Amino acid sequence: MENLEEKIVQADSLETLEKVRVELFGKKGVLAAEFAKMKDVPGPEKKAFAEGLNKSKASLQASFDARYEVLKSEEIEKVLKSEAIDVSLYGTLAQKGALHPVMETMDKIIDYFVALNFAVESGPMVEDDFHNFEALNLPKYHPARDMQDTFYFKDGGLLRTHTSPVQIRTMMETKPPIRMIAPGTVFRRDYDLTHTPMFHQVEGLVVDDKGKVSFANLKSILIDFLQYMFGDVEVRFRPSFFPFTEPSAEVDISCIFCEGEGCRVCSHTGWLEVLGCGIVDPNVFKAVGYEDVSGYAFGLGVERFAMLMHKIPDLRSLFEGDIRLLEQFR
Amino acid sequence: MIVTRSWLNEFIDLTKVSNEKLYETFNSIGLEVDSITQIEIASKVVIGKIISCEKHPDADKLNVCQIDVGSGKRQIVCGAANVVDAEYVAVATIGAVLPGDFVIKHAKLRGVESEGMVCASSELGLPDTGKGIMILDESIGELVVGRELSSYEKIADTIIELELTANRGDCLSIYGVARDLSAALDIEMKPFEYKQEEKIKLGIAREAELRHSGEMDADLHYKLATIENISSNFLVQLRLAMVGVEAEGKLASMLAYATHTTGVILRAYDSRTFRNSENKISVHPVAKMKGVIEVLGNEKVLSVVGVNQEAEATANDETKELLIEASYINPDTLVEAVSVTSLKTDDLYYKTSRGANPDLYFGLSFLASMMDSDTDISCYEGSLNVSVEREHETVIVDAKEIASIIGMDVEIGKIVTILQKLGFEINSMGHDVIAAVVPLFRHDIKHIQDISEEIVRIIGINNIEAKPFVFAEKPRLNDTTDRYRAKKEFKNRAVGVSFYENVSYVFSERALLDKYGFSTVDEALELANPIAEELNTLRSTILVNLLNAVKRNVSYSKKSIPLFEMGAVFGSKREQNEVISFVFSGQVEGENVRNAGKPKMIDFASFTQKVGAVIGAFELVPCTYNNGLIHPYQSANIIVDGKVCGFISKLHPTVQESFGIPETFIAELDFDAFLPTHINATPISKFQGVYKDLSVVIDKSLNYYEVAKVLNALELSMLKDAYPVDIYEDDKLGDKKSLTVRFFIQSMEKTLEDSDIETVMGQIMMALKTECKAELR
């Protein structure tokens, strides 16, 4: 019996242990043979013999189970080890592309205003003089037209110079109250380091009853919007001039590069100009046939936002499909 | 518009206003500050008085001057030719450190001792006032020998460049800017008083006559003067240099100075050149059309009001008799007329087109006061005038209305003060209501919101408390919003299968589109003023732009170039459509350990799989599109919901070669065709189905598409699905090929029995035999 215990402990693989099991516990095993001797044991000793035998069996079983556990886990460990790979080799397998930073910025802007219950509106890129200029209080020969160098077509059509014509179209097709934004592609005939002939704008317009919409309302939404986009910045309003709004303002944020200290990006002023806005000029409402209304409007250049937010140095690189730039936004 | 602090100071007392405050105020009232430059004059640069000036014994071009610099007499050698005309000069004494760290030291020039330097403006960091040294005079203040030049506020001035918006013609003068500051800073303007020194007791009418014809839209005032000798003071030169106004000669400088100061357009003619046969100066303004007024002198054109002036009769420093003209013309009519007639315009047009100062009397008086003090110019008494009766705009201003526009209450008293300072005339109309008469120089102000703007900018937008807008709830989701969301979804899917989003100009090159067989905008609807040859038309495909981007990326050593772009393309009638376009060029994936650094090149199957991951389920049928980018044997129409919505193709090898790019695949799809549609679910069978393969031999040229058509036409209810799984070709098969199709057969009503399956397969085989000449393999 001592010998048997030894055999269990000595087993060095599940196969050997299995052989020991058969030798011990099998139908023709050692234990079976021992139990068979029972019938030859005289009556009075039978009980003691049986007890002794059962005890030995239980002890052997316990040893066997323990050994089995050890060998089984060794075996699993062996399998696991054999499947080992250098996972760090595969970190470069990802195949994701990236959204364009300008489009992603535009999405972020749209998301903000949609969350505030603004409708998204759109209009054609090829526009006419009425929607792009006349209706926006930019009559022919107005000096402010010089600010927007325009692409014209031979039949007098033009490529919209801003997204403002969408305001006009929406106002003419629907009735107040209006809360809308118009994200879109716009065109100016200008091509140098800081200008591209095509870029993107988001325009906003709110129209309600006369006396309801004020400059204070415009300030409120724009301050919140700019802080949503740029984080904890200061917002400054400067009076300005746009033909389609009166009063008009340009909006600056404190420079996000130098935090107002003054740097090259903000031309050492500590401020970055990011938005134009104002109270809708009565002539615009007149052009679309609205009476007794009030409203505010604002407009921004998406490229400028994207460049500032992501510190992209070169405007023109945004239109070249340069993967070296795009892959940074994966 | 450039102003200087000391120049403004002539009209408004700025002594208690710091430069920081000025900067802040300008920005807050809408006169954006572009730059602000404080002129720093080095110390030990003092006023010197030249006692004597003799030629250097050994150098022709040098002079040896004895100069009193207050602390004593200095001998200084000077190389500037104009030193001989000078009395008072700026002297950099020993120890002065001039810009560029130039230290003035004791020196010997060609053997002569020199203790300092007589300075030119640029040597002191001042704008260039002309050749030679600065010859100072009392125009900068009392000249005290030995006094530091830096203590003269007119020299150590602050130059401020303002960026004016198009509506602010009234601020194109020092006076106009001062007036705006007066309102913003609440400082009274200094009155300008002028009493003419009547040197000539003769009236102008004895020598000149003025008659006009046509409907005048301009005011014209004329004065006549004789000149003995014309001189110009140093301050005029210095300030014109500071504000970057160029004027040739003393007279022109004086006129430019007066115009920059007052905003009144001033011109001067040599009236002797157009005295008539009776020896009279006859001036005859003629309105040619609305906005175009020619001024004739003895029936010769002298000028066009607000537009230009003929050189021939223009007065210069040699002129002995001077006819001075001050003019004002309505900018609205002027600008329109100039655009229509394309008249040649001169420098003053910028001012006249935005509205010059209509206060002609002020302009002429200012000029006369300059002449009185600096020159031997004698004016005739009185002036000849043409004046148009102009109606002043009146705006009724209700404080309540202002409050509702701004969103903040502003007291009527405050409104009145602001408007009065800005030059408005105010009449009370009752409680909290006034009538504001708009001054002529503010032709941009027409209604209550314009007035609000004035109030807003003077009280400061930053002082308005922000208030959220309260509005009635209303759902605002619309088609455009839905479409925007769908687009975003498609874009995100494309990014998920490795595409980068591209944004390119919606322009293209007409010749290139033609070359590749894409449609172009009709000639009559084409761009009239393209910015460059390669951007001379609207694009009808995005693919050419994408291929250009691929080319650039190849040059940046990129080996796997997947790009997509969603955007507008235009048809021949310039109709705008939205498409989504894909290109994939080069390696199908990045180089990594799995592909041992040698990834496969992109192929039709991989590209199709990627495009499918973006747009969802589609069918491919032989391509019917026709353009130069398409590969005739590896291209297909993409069909979604039974409609052709675009094509997918290998890039034609010749195009690939001409772009110099590796193997490339392209696809362009009409975005509207796969906008999400509503889907109804179909019931799913509860019974088990079976897969069955069938291999048939068919003609090599027969597309699977033809086979699929036959299978679809059978309309077998139990045939749930059929798809090709293998194609086999070899020499034995010759011009045939073996096609294996896998079928999924299932019934809605019962568990299939072998006989059911056989029936279905039998029908399939029968159809393929008759329709596709297929044989069992």
Would you list the DSSP string of B516-547?
TT-----GGGSBSS-SSGGG-EE-S-SHHHHH
Average pLDDT over residues B227-235: 85
Report the distance separating Cα B353 and Cα B169, nearest Å. Answer: 8
B653 preceded by a cis bond (ω within 30 of 0): no
Report the distance separating Cα A227 and Cα A233, nearest Å. Answer: 6
The reply to whether A91 touches chain B by the CB within 8 Å rule is: no
Cβ atoms of residues B722 and B743 within 8 Å: yes
| pLDDT confidence of residue B199 | 63
A86, A196, A241, A252: which to substitute to probe chain B, counting the most B Cβ within 10 Å? Answer: A241
Report the distance separating Cα B296 and Cα B313, nearest Å. Answer: 11
Would you say the pTM of this structure is higher than 0.90? no
pLDDT digits 0-9 by tens, B248-300:
888 999 999 999 999 999 999 999 888 888 888 999 999 999 889 999 998 89
Rounded percentage of chain B residues whose pLDDT exceeds 90: 71
Nearest to B456 among A96, A121, A239 (CB): A239
pLDDT digits 0-9 by tens, B660-711:
999 999 999 999 988 888 889 988 999 999 999 999 999 998 989 899 999 9
| pLDDT confidence of residue A11 | 86
DSSP secondary structure letters along A230-290: HSS--EEEEEEEETTEEEEEEEEEE-TTTTTS--TTTTTSSEEEEEEEEEEPHHHHHHTT-
Cβ atoms of residues B69 and B93 within 8 Å: yes
For residue B720, name the pLDDT band (cuts at 50, 70, 90).
very high
Angle of helix B412-421 relative to helix B448-459, nearest 10 degrees?
A: 90
Report the distance separating Cα A207 and Cα A282, nearest Å. Answer: 12
Cβ atoms of residues B388 and B328 within 8 Å: no
Report the distance separating Cα B760 and Cα B750, nearest Å. Answer: 15
pLDDT digits 0-9 by tens, B483-528:
999 999 999 999 999 999 999 999 999 999 999 999 999 999 999 9
| Contact call for A214 and B406, based on CB within 8 A | yes
Rounded alpha-carbon distances, angstroms, from residue A194 to A197, A272, A317: 10, 15, 11
CB < 8 Å to B548, chain A: 321
Helix or strand holding residue A37 (H, E):
none
- Find residues 232-291 of chain A whose CB sits inside 8 Å of chain B: 236-241, 246-250, 279, 281-282
CB < 8 Å to A186, chain B: none
A183 preceded by a cis bond (ω within 30 of 0): no
For residue B649, name the pLDDT band (cuts at 50, 70, 90).
very high
CA atoms lying within 13 Å on the CB side of residue A33: 7
For residue B553, name the pLDDT band (cuts at 50, 70, 90).
very high
Q: Which residues contact B198 (CB under 8 A, 6 or more apart)?
A: B379, B381
Report the distance separating Cα B383 and Cα B367, nearest Å. Answer: 14
- Find residues 686-715 of chain B whose CB sits inside 8 Å of chain A: none
Q: What are phi and psi of B38, to 5 degrees?
A: -95, 125
Cα first-last separation, chain A: 70
- Find residues 15-54 of chain B whose CB sits inside 8 Å of chain A: 27-30, 32
The reply to whether B572 touches chain A by the CB within 8 Å rule is: no
Report the distance separating Cα B229 and Cα B374, nearest Å. Answer: 10
| Contact call for A143 and B354, based on CB within 8 A | yes
Instruction: Count Cβ atoms below 10 Å from residue B648 Cβ, excluding itself.
Output: 25
Please determine, for residue B332, whether its predicted confidence score (pLDDT) is greater than 80. Answer: yes
| pLDDT confidence of residue A116 | 94
The reply to whether B582 touches chain A by the CB within 8 Å rule is: no
pLDDT digits 0-9 by tens, B417-430:
999 999 999 998 88
Average pLDDT over residues B10-20: 94
The string over A259-282, giving b where at least 16 C-beta atoms fall within 10 Å of a residue's C-beta and e elsewhere, is ebeeeebbeebbbbbbbbbbbbbb
Helix or strand holding residue B251 (H, E):
helix B250-262
| pLDDT confidence of residue A144 | 66
The reply to whether B573 touches chain A by the CB within 8 Å rule is: no
Helix or strand holding residue B123 (H, E):
none
Strands A235-242 and A245-254: antiparallel
| pLDDT confidence of residue A119 | 95
Report the distance separating Cα B540 and Cα B715, nearest Å. Answer: 40
Average pLDDT over residues B434-463: 92
B99 preceded by a cis bond (ω within 30 of 0): no
| pLDDT confidence of residue A265 | 85
Average pLDDT over residues B13-39: 92
Report the distance separating Cα A21 and Cα A29, nearest Å. Answer: 8
Please determine, for residue B558, whether its predicted confidence score (pLDDT) is greater than 70. Answer: yes
**Which residue is it, tokens 């194109």?**
B172
The reply to whether A99 touches chain B by the CB within 8 Å rule is: yes
For residue B777, name the pLDDT band (cuts at 50, 70, 90).
confident
Strands B619-622 and B321-329: unpaired
What 3-state class would DSSP assign to B224? strand
The reply to whether B352 touches chain A by the CB within 8 Å rule is: no
Nearest to A238 among B28, B408, B561 (CB): B28
Range name among A43-52, B209-218, B437-446 with the lowest pLDDT average = A43-52
**Average pLDDT per consecutive 10 residues, chain A (330 residues; last block may be shorter):** 79 88 85 83 83 86 91 92 89 86 97 95 96 91 72 94 96 95 95 92 96 95 96 93 92 90 85 95 95 96 96 92 93
| Contact call for A154 and B528, based on CB within 8 A | yes
pLDDT digits 0-9 by tens, B48-69:
999 998 998 888 889 999 999 9
Radius of gyration of chain A (CA): 41
Work out the minimum CA distance from A305 to partner chain B, whole angstroms. Answer: 16
Of A214, A49, A321, A285, the residue nearest B549 (C-alpha): A321
Q: Which residues contact B631 (CB under 8 A, 6 or more apart)?
A: B649, B650, B651, B652, B653
CA atoms lying within 13 Å on the CB side of residue B383: 22
**Which residue is it, tokens 């870029």?**
A199
| pLDDT confidence of residue A303 | 97
